[in-house]
Structure 1
Amino acid sequence: MKTKTLIAAIFFSGLIYAQETQKKDTANTKNIEAVTLTKQVFKKQSDRFVYDVAASPVAKGNTAFSLLKQTPLVSSTDDKTLKIIGKNNAVIYINGRKTNMDAESLTQLLKNTPAENIQKIEVITLPGSEFQVESSDGIINIILKKKMTDGLNGNMRMGNSQNYYNSSYAGVSLNYRKDKLGISTNINTSENIQEQYYILRNGSSITSNQSEGRVTDPNKNLGGYLNIDYQLNDNSNLALTWNSWANRSYGSGSNLFNTIVAPNEKGITETRYSITKNLENSRSYNNSLNLNYELKTDTLGSKLNLNAAYLNYKRFQNADNRTYTTDLSGQFFNPSTIIVQSTPQVINNFSSTVDYIKKFKNDFTVAVGGNFNKTKTDNDTKNDTYYYDKDGNLVDQYGRPISSPISAPNHFIYDENIYGFYLTFEKKFSEKFSGKIGSRYEITNSLGTSENMGNAETAALGRIERKYNNFLPYVSFNYAINDKNNISYAFSSRMRRPSFWELNPVRNYLTNVNYTQNDPFVRASSVYNNELTYMFKNAYFLVINHSFKKNVITQVPLQRDKVRLDENQQPVLDANGKQITDRELRYIRTNFGNKQEMSAMIGMQKTFFKQYLTSNFNIGMQRNVNDGFLNTDPITGDVFPNYVNKIKSNSLLIQTNNTLRLDEKKTWFLGVNYWYVDNQQIELGMLKSLMSLDANIKKVWNDWTFALEVYDILNTNRVTITDYQTNGNFNYINQNQYNQGMNLSITYNFGNKKVQKIRDIDSADREIKNRTR
């Protein structure tokens, strides 16, 4: 709260200085707008789509995150992650360099960055060999505006959102330039409570288990960055970048009412009830430092770029999960199980990159470079489980009296070294035809050691060692048939390494019989992409994509009726002599077969009625072909009934964003946005269709922008997944994240509007960021 009060004070105290510069900049700003709006807003260039948003009414008063959601081919269904249509995720670059932040803090930064700072957005659906991205990820490259004179400028933004709970945020950004020195800094803070309502149901024809209730997650965030860039001479620059982010989530909890249907000791099917209460406290810190040196080697644009970076990530988490027997009315009785966990994670990474681009006079470019990443993750997990009999006495899992809880500590350390090299050739053969070819070669050596892995063979060895090399080719061609028609093709191959949290062999309990489990045996997966693009009049486009994924890394539900054992570890029998079982469900993070994704998307980015209406529209089909099979827990070796997903599905995708200018002076704007994703088969089952209708109204008053946004007006953005196996097992997930809500924001730009932003520096550890939790 103190941080927000401080930012609010800065916000209003800056108005006096800002108003003095307002009159000087107004005329120039209007002239710039008039010129910019005559440019081609959306066009295809070589290996990327370019969306020119400078001075556009879509950008004014928006955040960078909101603007990205309105960019052609880009979408977000959860307001947390960005996705390029036909791809897994979107990796964010700024001025051609990957952002030096983890996923969570990057989202918060984009939500607190005014869109007025952005000149254009580039969407690279198939990145070339020079980019360090994994899997089928695409790239969104944000090009910031550049202004030429010395001085100070900045912006301040405050906002308040109302969903299930109220949340608030604020941020201040400053840019300063004096001769050869440039400094850019930002501080932002937010406070929110994320509310979700779950219905989880699984079972077979004999037994079933349903958990229903709320999950509440309060969060306080504080983050920012500091960039210092110094021009050593006309050809070289030295820069230092520091990024920091902190999150605190104390009092996060869930309250689930469990309904269990199963045969009792007499062989009669009965219904039992319990309540699971989970309390979790966590905090995380992410700090990274990057040193950059850039040298221009000629006047054609050739340059050498060197980076060295250090990343330190810490997460501390403690959870107390308690399950109580109860009746239908919810009255508490004795506790049946208490699970107390401590799951810290510490990541240290050192990274370095070398990139050299050589340009020749005949429109020929050669790029060569390499990277080195050394990462160590330390996960010292503590787990104490308390079982109680019906009289409240402490027992083990077989019902035998004990005096202390069952402890299952696990200290898992993961070391990884990655060596990467790339070479690309790019040639413009004529004004119409250009091509690019290249490849990456990556060497990965990793070692995971654990005191207790659960698997007898691995526990004896105490180590999981991986060594693999990958050759990753890339090729693309672009042909401008004439001024109105452009066609291009690209092929790429990539790897998808598991995130560090996916490798940590820890269980995260929702109830005592329902939990997620990570897997240190997960192997890197391979992804092969083909893409054909056609563009007409720089306004209409067709994108056809095919992706093949080998050894897909995902989460798979394994469930079974586990035989109940007595104190002698013998099966417990009912009155009819049948074994008594308890239902168990594990969501296992592992490799799960192969998958193909095919999509065809047509779209439009165009203005109508003398630029009163700006419209972005995409519609297409996606076909998923799944081929996965799993029946064994990779850590414990426990065998489950087969989980099979060999289902194909076809899905309709629609996205449209529309901005209507309501007055001639360009001060009032109305926005209406809609997206729809049809039913589609994913690894967990059939994902029911999702859609959201959003609207906003915006008022621009000099350097002030006031905006009111309403999200998910129809309350249709809810996740429902169903799965039915031929062996009779079923699984059902219903998740309501309360996306319906509204947001009120105020943005103020002040200072010398001509200040040139300093270089946004690439980071050597750019690939590692996406693999932190």
Structure 2
Amino acid sequence: MKTPILIAAIFFSGLTFAQEKKQDTVKTKSIEAVTLTKQVFKKQSDRFVYDVAASPVSKGNTTFDLLKQTPLLSTTDDKTLKIVGKNNALIYINGRKTNMDAESLTQFLKNTPAENIQKIEVITVPGSEYQVESSDGIINIILKKKMSDGTSGNMRMSNTQNKYNASSASFSVNYRKDKLGINANLSGGENINPQSYILRNGIGNVTNESVGNIDDPNKNIGGYLNIDYQLTEKSNLALSWNSWANKSYNSTIDLYNTLTQPKDGNLVTSHTWTKNKEDARNYNNSVNLNYEIKLDSLGSKFNANAAYLNYKRFQFSNNNTLNEGLTPIKTITQDIPQIINNFSGTVDYIQKFKNDFTVSVGGNFNTTKTDNDTKNFTYLFDDNGDLQDLSPLPNPKTDFNHFIYNEKIYGAYITFEKKFSDKFSGKVGARYEITNSLGTADSFKDGVESNQKIERNYNNLLPYISFNYAINDKNNLSYSFSSRMRRPSFWELNPVKNIITEDNYTQNNPFVKASSTYNQELTYMYKNSYFLILNHSYQKDQITQVPLQKRYTKDGMERVRLAYIRTNFGDRQEMSAMLGVQKSLFKQYLTLNFNAGVQYNINNGTLDTDPTTGEVFDTYINNRKSASFIVTSNNTIRLDKKKTWFLGVNYFYVDKQQIELGMLKNLMSLDLSIKKNWNDWTFAVNVNDVLRTNVVEIEDYQDNGNYNYIKNDMYRRSVSVSITYSFGNQKVKKVRDIEAASDAIKNRTR
């Protein structure tokens, strides 16, 4: 069982203010008695800008390493990046969203030299021109402009040890000749994702406990090919292709179950085993064609994209319940395929005027079809482990659900941006979206055939506004407001039941509707080093997973069923105040990124019925509030004058907080790394979760006596060793990175 949990980030260092008089966050370089200063970190109208070229941490790093050192960014698993206070971070390159799946993107970032980067922009509240959902933020990587022809690339190998061993390798190459640019990557790996679980739930004196392990082996291979051709001095044509394949065979769930129930005035304990096996594979292929033309010397341009996305997942599971002596009691096999086809198109027109005024207009169209043909077969056994005779019913009992979902999205936006003076600038815009969807479900369950149609049509006007005021050279104030919506992922809409144990399962929901999010953010920055961010987010009809329980009777004895239902669950407010600092100290021997703050959550949701099946459970209420303390710190220490040895010390702590499933207990992690740069080689060793404190625990107690407890250890303590070799002409101009029209859809396949 995979539990989605929002985990914030991270800790350390009180040395900053002691060094304030010695050094500001400007880099000073003396050239022939002329002193030049350049700001490393600053706030613009709608984004934070980190000037990598003026920072001491870029040399010898990968792009991923550099992003971990960027203010407001952090990672808890060395795979995904988070913006403080945001659910998700989307990666853009040169203003275009990367057309890669998550695994390919991680490999790309870990194999791109940081020296190729000019600056990093962190957009905490994206404007109307960006196709983002909910409270997502954007990380925009601006590459240096390198004009020389030639070939360059790098090769990387890494090995990681936690409970199991994992290995990966990648090869990247860039080619530039006159008007033609080609960029390609091939990467692959093999690993086993381990997890251990303790699951407890109950109603009164009827309780369940399941303890055991989940092992998920994975083999994957993928890559991308980007071709960019300069048609004229002002126009470019680009084609990009991305592909990724994953095979996860013999994934296992092994749980020992303890059931306590009343009988004849006493409590009786019985034990069973859950032994599940799953084979799954998925394929993700997308192609994107882009045309861009520059209209004038001010930066006006027109951009058009067309994209096709094909996603396939095939999953077959064998779910077994056995008695304590390992004699089979029940077996349920599930065949759960999913096929997604999407065509998308976008157009953007940006007109810049001489009076620092910019108008942007554009639109997008998406059409998607998903096909999910799920089949369940239930086998019942007698006390001797033999198949029961269920005449006249068949054995196995057969159920199926064929769910087809069609969706069309039409969108248009307009933004106006104006720099009124050197001190004041503003931006206002709006996005209008029309969504038409139709889901049809043909099902057969318990001998009864049924047909359902779920049709939804809704329109949304999503306004946006921001302003930035530079009070003086040392003080800056900015404000942003945006309205966004979050559409459910396609797997959330597929009405399939995933079985964990005999009395524990997850249920998806075709009736989930889009949720709305309203974000406000006020930022104050001092000396381009210290900042205060006040944030408020209101989510209406949030999409989440809700634990519902009920008593039922089997063989004359009471039992408890627990179902994790995917649905819209009330409203949620998040308020946070975050203090941060980005500063180089001790003559740039220490580079510090530090954030500390508080977050206050207000939950308001009630549910007692599974919307998919109509089954009624005990009422689950989450109307609780919680305040939590969050500290994050990412620090790089240079160990020698030649800038070849570096030590990394990263730490995060997040206090306990109320989430949808209950009270999430406090989490923390200490990560250490050491790196050596030697000519074209980079050697690195990383130790993650040194203290093994990054373990998830969630506990919930309802007023009616129902309780639920989850402990999930993902074995985040690990040691990784990597070797990277860079070759060729390092001044090669990078291929123009293109935002695929299907990117917003691709994010919903995961």
Using the size of structure 1 for normalisation, the TM-score is 0.90
Equivalent AA in structure 2 for residue 451 of structure 1: D
Unaligned stretches of 5+ residues in structure 1? 1-29, 565-571, 574-579
Q: Which runs of 5+ in 2 are unaligned?
A: 1-28
- CA offsets per residue over residues 127-174 of structure 1, 9 Å max, x none? 000000000111111222331111111111111111111111111111
Task: Give yes or no for the alignment of 1:553 onto 2:543.
Answer: yes
Is the counterpart of residue 524 in structure 1 residue 501 in structure 2? no
Q: Distance in 1 between matches of 2:388 and 2:68?
A: 54
Tell me the CA shift for residue 220 of structure 1.
Answer: 1.0
Aligned partner of 1:81 in structure 2 is: 80
Q: Does 1:447 align with 2:438?
A: yes
Equivalence for 2:305: 307
Partners of 2:39 and 2:54 within 8 A in 1: no
1:135-534 aligned at under 5 Å gives the runs 135-264=134-263, 266=264, 268-326=266-324, 331-332=325-326, 334-395=327-388, 402-452=393-443, 462-534=452-524
| Contact 1:112–1:170, Cα closer than 8 Å, also in 2 | no
Alpha carbons of 1:619 and 1:207: their partners in 2 closer, same or farther (altered >3 Å)?
A: same
Contact 1:102 1:772 survives alignment (8 Å):
no
Give the one of 599, 616, 641 matched to 1:664: 641
State how far apart, in whole Å, the 2-side matches of 1:259 and 1:547 are: 41
Aligned to 1:649: 626
1:622 corresponds to 2:620:
no
Q: Which residue of 1 aligns with 2:529?
A: 539
Residues 1:681 and 2:658 aligned together? yes
Matches of 1:31 and 1:141 in 2, distance apart? 31
**Aligned-pair CA distance for 1:658:** 1.0
**Is 1:611 the counterpart of 2:597 in the alignment?**
no
2: CA distance, partners of 1:164 / 1:117:
35
1:186-207 Cα distance to aligned partner (Å, 9 max, x none): 1111111111111011112221
Find the residue that maps to 2:748 and give its secondary structure.
Answer: coil
Residues 372-399 of structure 1, C-alpha deviations (whole Å, 9 max, x = no match): 0000011111111112232434349xx8
CA distance in 1, matches of 2:176, 2:51: 25
Which of 249-258 and 107-116 deviates more? 107-116
SS in 2 for 1:635: coil
Question: CA offsets, 1:510-550, max 9 Å, x none?
Answer: 11221111100001000001100011111111110000000
The code of the aligned residue for 1:85 comes to V
Cα deviations across residues 245-270 of structure 1 (Å, max 9, x unaligned)?
A: 11111111111111111134x45421
Give 1:71 deviation, angstroms. 2.0
- AA at the equivalent of 1:51: Y
Tell me how far apart the structure 2 counterparts of residues 108 and 749 of structure 1 sit (CA, whole Å): 15
* Distance of aligned partners of 1:108 and 1:752 in 2 relative to their CA distance in 1, 3 Å threshold: closer
- Confirm or deny: 8 A CA contact 1:455 1:637 kept in the other structure: no
CA distance in 2, matches of 1:99, 1:456: 48
Higher strand share: 2
Kept in 2, the 8 Å contact 1:548–1:597? The answer is yes
Equivalent pair of 1:36/1:55 in contact (CA under 8 Å):
no
In structure 1, what is the Cα distance between the partners aligned to 2:36 and 2:214? Answer: 46
Size of the alignment, in residue pairs? Answer: 720
Q: Tell me how far apart the structure 2 counterparts of residues 610 and 57 of structure 1 sit (CA, whole Å).
A: 10
- For residue 698 of structure 1, report the CA deviation from its aligned partner: 1.0
Q: How far is the alpha carbon of 1:63 from its aligned partner?
A: 3.7
CA distance in 1, matches of 2:219, 2:691: 29
Contact 1:349 1:376 in 2 (8 A): yes
Check the 8 A contact 1:688/1:720 in 2, yes or no: yes
Following TM superposition, by how much is the alpha carbon of 1:62 offset from its aligned partner in structure 2, in angstroms? Answer: 3.8
Q: 1:635 aligns with which of 602, 608, 612?
A: 612
Q: Please list the CA deviations of residues 310-338 of structure 1 after superposition, one character each: whole Å capped at 9, or x if unmatched.
A: 00001111111111000xxxx42x21111
Residues 400 and 646 from structure 1, CA distance in 2 versus in 1: closer, same or farther, beyond 3 angstroms?
farther
CA contact (8 A) 1:226 1:242 kept: yes
Work out the CA distance in 2 between the residues paired with 1:670 and 1:401.
Answer: 71
Q: Does structure 1 residue 696 correspond to structure 2 residue 661?
A: no
Deviations 1:47-105 (A, max 9, x none): 00111224855334444334323321122334443221111111111111111123344
Deviates more, 1:109-118 or 1:404-413: 109-118
Cα deviation, residue 680, structure 1:
0.5
Normalising by structure 2, report the TM-score.
0.93
**CA–CA separation in structure 2 for the residues paired with 1:159 and 1:635:** 45
1:335-357: per-residue Cα shift (whole Å, max 9, x none)? 11111011111110000001000
Change (3 A) 1:78 1:411: same
What CA RMSD, in Å, does the superposition of the two structures yield over aligned residues?
A: 2.1
* Contact 1:348–1:377 (Cα < 8 Å) also in 2: yes
SS in 2 for 1:58: coil
Name the CA shift for 1:137/1:539 in 2 (closer, same or farther; >3 Å): same
Moved more, 75-84 or 663-672: 75-84
SS state of the match for residue 146, structure 1?
coil
Change beyond 3 A, Cα 1:365–1:747: same
For residues 450 and 37 of structure 1, the distance between their equivalents in structure 2, rounded to whole angstroms, comes to 67
**Secondary structure at the counterpart of residue 394 of structure 1:** coil
1:728 aligned partner: 705
Q: Deviations over 1:367-426 (max 9, x none)?
A: 000000000011111111112232434349xx8785521111111110000000000000
Asked whether the equivalents of residues 36 and 54 of structure 1 are also in contact (C-alpha less than 8 Å), the reply is no
Match of 2:24 in 1: none
Instruction: Tell me the amino acid that sits aligned with residue 275 of structure 1.
Output: W
Query: 1:747 aligned to 2:746?
Result: no
Q: Report SS of the residue matched to 1:451.
A: strand
Contact persistence 2:208–2:260 (CA under 8 A): yes
Alpha-carbon spacing, 1:456–1:557, altered in 2? closer, same or farther (3 Å) = farther
Is 1:373–1:765's contact at 8 Å kept on the other side of the alignment? yes
Is the alpha carbon distance of 1:745 and 1:38 closer, same or farther for their aligned partners in structure 2, counting shifts above 3 Å?
Answer: farther
1:465 CA drift (Å)? 0.2
SS in 1 for 2:443: coil
Distance 2:337 2:220 in 1: 19
Q: Which amino acid aligns with 1:322?
A: N
Equivalent residue letter for 1:433? F
Q: How many Å apart are 1:361 and its aligned residue?
A: 0.3
Report the AA paired with residue 494 of structure 1: R
Q: Which is further off, 368-377 or 399-408?
A: 399-408
The residue aligned with 1:22 is none
State the Cα distance separating 1:641 from its structure 2 match.
0.6
Q: How far apart, CA to CA, are the structure 2 residues paired with 1:735 and 1:400? A: 42
Question: Following the alignment from structure 2 to structure 1, what is the Cα–Cα distance between the partners of residues 533 and 563?
Answer: 38
Q: Does the aligned pair in 2 maintain the 1:196–1:216 contact within 8 Å? A: yes
Q: CA deviation at 1:37?
A: 11
